Each structure stands twice: as structure tokens, then as C-alpha cells.
Amino acid sequence: MKIVLAESYGFCFGVKRAIKIAEENKNSATYGPLIHNANEIDRLKNDFNVALSENLDSFKASDTAVIRTHGIPKQELSLLHERQVNVVDATCPYVTKPQQICEDMNSQGYDIVIFGDEAHPEIKGVKSYAADHVYVVNSPDEIDALKLREKVATVAQTTRKLEEYQQIIIKLMSKHKEVRIFNTICNATFDNQDAVRELAQKADVMIIIGGKNSSNTKQLYSISKEYCLDSYHIESKDDLQTNWFDHKEYCGVSAGASTPDWIIDEVIQSIRTLNNS
Ligand code: F3S
């Protein structure tokens, strides 16, 4: 039986990069979680002595702080530098970009409208890069309540849907003559979905790996099931059943955004063993 991994699966580029950075910085601590996956956080702690701290004050001079993928507020970054903490920045470049845009446009006299969730760490960080006149909105209607000046620049949270951002843009353009639009949406989640859609059309059995509560894994599974009836959502190799692979010739594999590569490797190894037994 042929076993084929989806073209895009599992961790996004930003999380993979952050984990590599953490592994290269043994005996450090990440400031905030790099990923919402307890197994992976434990692995970094056990194999690389990379701890997790949610408390800025826990970092002292000459400690190494790895900055999480979502980034942190500018003021916190300055504080770490002031305290002579060795800062290793693992902020995803797709998050650094809107931070820079906010800073640049704001310093050029633009009001900043951020489309996103004010409570989300990414948005707290992005917002902090504008000195003033910066607003976070979750819907076009919220724009009516803002007292914006003439020149406006807008960015979106990386995980927002393009169609929703377009509504924000339309609203801003209906009220302002000068609107600078930056498309800061990241396509990582959509890439995994597109890849499953493509693979499930060729496969006669599909294995989707990820937490039972992971909404993006469930989403992948439901897309897979649309094209391949024999699709299974598992958490680890222990959930595999031999009869799933009887008389099958093409097995497709994908994984949700918080599934580490080592869990995926274990599953593929087990499928090979089951298939050869
Ligand atoms: Fe991942 Fe960076 Fe996009 S962390 S979801 S590649 S913004």
C-alpha cells in the first residue's frame, strides 16, 4: 500500500520555525507557549531543557527568553532588553510584518485600524507598535463608533478570513479618502485544507491525526470524509485498526496544526507495520 503525506500538514511554517529556534537554545524558557500542545511543550522541556514561563518578571539578566510565535507587546520586549535578558525572537515573520506596518504608518500620521480580537496575544502585540490613534475592530459596524482622522491604514489578524476583512475595507473606504490596505492574513490553515482536499480525492483510505477537540483537525477530517468515505480521525498510533487498511492501495495522511511531526512519524511507521503484518 502506498502511504502519502498531504503536501501541507501539521505545524505551520511559523510554529516549525519557532520550535527549531527553541531547540537551538537549550536551557532557556519561552515567554508564553510556542504551541497549544502539552506533549510538545513537555518534549521541549525534557529533551532541550526549554521551560515555559508566562511571567515576564521570571526572566533575569543573562537568562534566555524565546519570544513566542504570536509576538509580545513592544514595551515588554524593551523591558526584557533593559533587564539584559538574552532575547531570542521566534515571533512568526507573518506577525512581525503587521507590527512593522503599524509602527511605520502610525509614525507617518495614519490612524491604524486592526481587524482582529483585542484580547488575542497577537493583536495585543501588533497594537503596541502604534504610539496612538490605534483601534481594534471585530466587525464593520464597530468602525462607525470610531473618531478616525483623515488618513487610515489597516491590517488584519493573521488568522482572519479574507472575506470578512474585505467588509472592513469596504466600510473604511466608504468613509475615508485615503485608506492604506495591507493584507496580513496568513494562509497556513487554508493550505492544510486544500492539501487534504486534493489527497482525499486520490486515496482509498485517509488518516487524519490530531486532538479530538482540535477544531482545525475536525475541519480537516470533515473535508477528507467528503471525498474519501474511509477517513479516520485519530489522536495517535494507538487508535489505528488493522482492518481499515484491508484491500487498500493508497493511504493518505494529514494532521492538524498542533500535531507534532514525531506523532505523525509514529503513525506512519505503525501503518507500515500493520500493512505488512
Ligand atoms: Fe503560523 Fe505564522 Fe501563519 S505562526 S498560522 S505561519 S502567522
184 lines ligand 1 (CB under 6 A): no
- Are 43 and 107 within one domain? no
Of 91, 124, 152, the residue that ends a domain is 91
Of 91, 110, 128, the residue that ends a domain is 91
Q: Which domain holds residue 213?
A: 2-9+187-276
- Edge-to-edge strands of the sheet including 250-255? 2-5, 250-255, 205-209, 231-234
Q: Is 122 a catalytic residue?
A: yes
- Are 43 and 119 within one domain? no
244 lines ligand 1 (CB under 6 A): no
- Are 99 and 164 within one domain? yes
pTM: 0.82
Q: How many domains does the chain have?
A: 3
Average pLDDT along the chain, 277 residues, taken 10 residues at a time: 96 91 97 83 95 96 95 97 97 97 98 95 96 97 95 94 94 96 91 96 97 83 97 96 96 93 95 87
- Are 177 and 203 within one domain? no
Q: What pLDDT, on the 0 to 100 scale, is given for residue 89?
A: 96
Q: How far is the CA of 63 from the centre of ligand 1 (A)?
A: 26
- The CATH code of the domain that includes 84 is 3.40.50.11270
- Are 71 and 138 within one domain? no
14 lines ligand 1 (CB under 6 A): yes
Q: Ligand 1 pocket check: which of 11, 89, 160, 186 to mutate, most ligand atoms within 8 Å of Cβ? A: 186
Dihedral angle computed from the Cα positions of residues 113, 117, 119 and 120, in that order, rounded to the nearest 10 degrees: -110
- A 10 A CB-CB count for 124 gives 18
Q: What pLDDT, on the 0 to 100 scale, is given for residue 39?
A: 79
- Are 84 and 98 within one domain? no
Of 42, 60, 91, the residue that ends a domain is 91
- Are 78 and 102 within one domain? no
Q: What pLDDT, on the 0 to 100 scale, is given for residue 242?
A: 95
Q: What pLDDT, on the 0 to 100 scale, is given for residue 33?
A: 87
Closest atom, ligand 1, to C-alpha of 95 = 7
